[in-house]
Amino acid sequence: MTDAPATCDILFRDATIVDGTGAPGRRGDVAVTGDRISGVGDLAATTAGEEIAATGKVVAPGFIDVHTHDDRALITDPDMTPKLSQGVTTVVPGNCGFSLAPLLPEHAKDPVFELMGGPDAFLYPTFGSYLDALDAAPAAINAAPLVGHATLRAGAMDTMDRAATEDEIAAMRAKVGEALESGAAGFSSGLFYPPGRQAPAAELVALIEPLAGTGAVYTTHMRNEDDHVEDSLEETFETARQAGVPVVISHHKCAGVTNHGRSTATLGRIEKARQGQAVGLDAYPYTAGSTVLMNELVERAERTIITWSNTVPEAAGRDLAELAAEWGVEILEAADRVQPAGAVYFMLSEEDVQSILAYSRTMIGSDGIPHDKHPHPRLWGTFPRVLGHYARELGLFTLEEAVHRMSGLSAETFGIKDRGRVAAGCFADLVLFDPETVIDRATYEQPERPAAGIDMVLVNGSVAYAAGKWTGSRSGRTIRRAA
Ligand code: ZN
Ligand code: CU
C-alpha cells in the first residue's frame, strides 16, 4: 500500500483494482490528483473533489491499443469514440508499414494509402511535424505513433516494385533518424502489401538498425500469413536479430482453411525465438481480417464483406458473393467492379484465434480501420470482447490476465513509461467497468455499436468518457519515446 493523500481530485471508492501487472484483483480505493494517480489502497481518510462509488466495479489501467491505423482519425475525429468507448486510453498508430508521416499527397498515390483516407490526408513532411500537429489539436486519448516503411518508400522511390537502391536506403534512413529523434515509438513494415513486398530483408535490416539501443520497436505485418507463415516468422526473427532490435509480430494469424491449426507450430517458433531475442506479438479476437480489397485475399477467404467502395458506395456492408450473384458475374469480376475498395475476409479458425489469444505473450491490438464506411467490428469491439467473451464467458484466461495483455504488457513492450498500471505516480489513464456485463456489441452487420459495461474512462486525470458518451475532454497526449 502507498501513502494515502489527505485530499485528491477524483476518488474511486471500494473498487476491485486490477492493476495491469496480472496480479489478482483486490478491493480498495484509487485517488487521482491532477494528471496522476496519487494513491492506491485503503484511502478511508482521503477526501476528494469528486467521489465515485465503485463497489462491484473494476478499476483498471486504460487499455493500450498497440495495433491501430488511427493516424488521421486522431486529428479528424479527436473524440476517438470507437476506442474511448472500449476503455482505450492510448493507441499506437502507424502500423503495417503505413504512417501518415512523413509523406506529401503527390507521393501517396498507391491504393493502400486509402487506408488512411487517400492522398489528401498526407500533410506532414516530417514525422516531427505530425507529432506537433497532434500536440496542437489533442485528441481525447494518447498516441504513441510509429513510422511506416511503405510511407518512407513512397517518399523515396519513384516505383516500389523493386528493392530500394543504396541511395534510397540512405534517404529513408535519414527519415527514420528524424522520426526517432522526434520520439517515434518505433518502425512498422507491411511486407505483404505491394509497396513493401519487393523489399528484401536486407533493406529492412538497414532501415531498422537505427532503432537499436533506443528502446524503439520494430512491428511487422509479415510477408506471409498463410502458406508460408512459418518462413515469414523466421525471416522476421532474423531481420530483427541482425539489427539488434525488439520485434512485434502484428495481428498474428494462420490464414486460409489449409493453414488452420498451424498456430501450435507458429507459437512454438515464437516461444523458441524468445529464448534468444525480444519478440512480442499482437492479435485481435475475431476470425475475420480486414484490409483493402485484394483478389488474392478474396480467393483465400470463405466469405468477403465489402467495407467501403469508391465506385459502388452502396456495396459497403454487402457480401461480395451476393453482389456477384446479383450482377451475374464471377466473384473476382465483382471485386474489380467495386475497386478501389476495402473488405472483411473470413479466413481464420476459432481454434487458432483462441490459442493465439491464450498465449501469455500476446498483446491485444484492434487493427481497426477508422475511415471505413462499414468497418470490421474490431474497431468498436476488440477490448470488451476479450474481457467479456474470451475471459468471462469462455474462461480462456482470467480477467487479470486479459487486462495485463491490454495494458501492462503493452506499455512494457512499447516502452510507454508510467502508463499501463494502476500505481501511485503513474499517469491517471483509468477505466471503470462492470466485470459482469462488459461485452462487445459491434457485429459484422452492425459494426458501429458501442460496447456495454464501460462506465467511465479517465485520460491523464480528466474524465473523457462517462454515461455512454465522450465528455468533450481532449486530454490525450502525444507520447514521445524518451531518448
Ligand atoms: Zn496489417
Ligand atoms: Cu494493421
Task: Report domain extents, the chain.
Answer: 7-61+423-439+451-470, 64-414
**Cell numbers at residue 382, please?**
476488440
> Distance of alpha carbon 483 from its chain centroid, rounded?
23
Q: Residue 220 pairs with which residues in a beta bridge?
A: 189, 249
For residue 401, the CA-to-ligand 1 centroid distance in Å is 25
pLDDT at residue 483 tops 70 = no
For residue 24, the CA-to-ligand 2 centroid distance in Å is 32
For residue 79, the CA-to-ligand 2 centroid distance in Å is 21
pLDDT at residue 117 tops 90 = no
Give residue 289's identity as a one-letter amino acid code: G
For residue 117, the CA-to-ligand 2 centroid distance in Å is 14
pLDDT at residue 103 tops 70 = yes
Q: What is the spatial distance between Cα 46 and Cα 134, in angstroms, rounded to a whole number?
A: 36
What top-level class would CATH report for the domain 7-61+423-439+451-470?
mainly beta
pLDDT at residue 60 tops 80 = yes
Kindly identify the ligand whose nearest atom is closest to the C-alpha of 189: 1
Q: Residue 306 pairs with which residues in a beta bridge?
A: 343
pLDDT at residue 2 tops 70 = no
Where does the pLDDT of residue 210 fall: very low under 50, low under 70, confident under 90, or very high at 90 and above? very high
For residue 150, the CA-to-ligand 2 centroid distance in Å is 13
For residue 197, the CA-to-ligand 1 centroid distance in Å is 13
Is residue 37 within 8 A of residue 4, CB to CB? The reply is no
pLDDT at residue 70 tops 90 = yes
Q: What is the spatial distance between Cα 10 and Cα 73, in angstroms, rounded to a whole number?
A: 29
Measured at the CA of 443, the angle between CA 441 and CA 444, to 5 degrees, comes to 170
Q: What is the spatial distance between Cα 195 and Cα 65, in angstroms, rounded to a whole number?
A: 25
Mean pLDDT over each residue of the chain, to the nearest integer = 97
For residue 96, the CA-to-ligand 1 centroid distance in Å is 4
What's the Cα-to-Cα distance from 171 to each of 213, 219, 279, rounded to whole Å? Answer: 21, 21, 28
What's the Cα-to-Cα distance from 150 to each of 54, 193, 309, rounded to whole Å? Answer: 46, 9, 22
- 3-class SS string, 433-451: ECCCCCECCCCCCCCCCCC
The average pLDDT across 235-245 equals 98
pLDDT tens digits, 288-313: 999 999 999 999 999 999 999 999 99
For residue 68, the CA-to-ligand 2 centroid distance in Å is 6
For residue 367, the CA-to-ligand 2 centroid distance in Å is 5
Using the CB atoms, write b or e for 40-78: b if 16+ within 10 Å.
bbebeebebeeebebeebbbbbbbbbbbbbbbbbbbebb
Among 80-89, 380-389, 474-483, which is the least confidently predicted range?
A: 474-483
Using the CB atoms, write b or e for 319-329: b if 16+ within 10 Å.
ebbebbeeeee
Is residue 398 within 8 A of residue 461, CB to CB? The reply is no
Measured at the CA of 128, the angle between CA 127 and CA 129, to 5 degrees, comes to 90
Kindly identify the ligand whose nearest atom is closest to the C-alpha of 70: 2
The average pLDDT across 146-164 equals 98
Where does the pLDDT of residue 61 fall: very low under 50, low under 70, confident under 90, or very high at 90 and above? very high
For residue 222, the CA-to-ligand 1 centroid distance in Å is 8
What top-level class would CATH report for the domain 64-414?
alpha beta
What's the Cα-to-Cα distance from 433 to each of 384, 393, 396, 428, rounded to whole Å? Answer: 10, 16, 19, 15
For residue 255, the CA-to-ligand 2 centroid distance in Å is 15
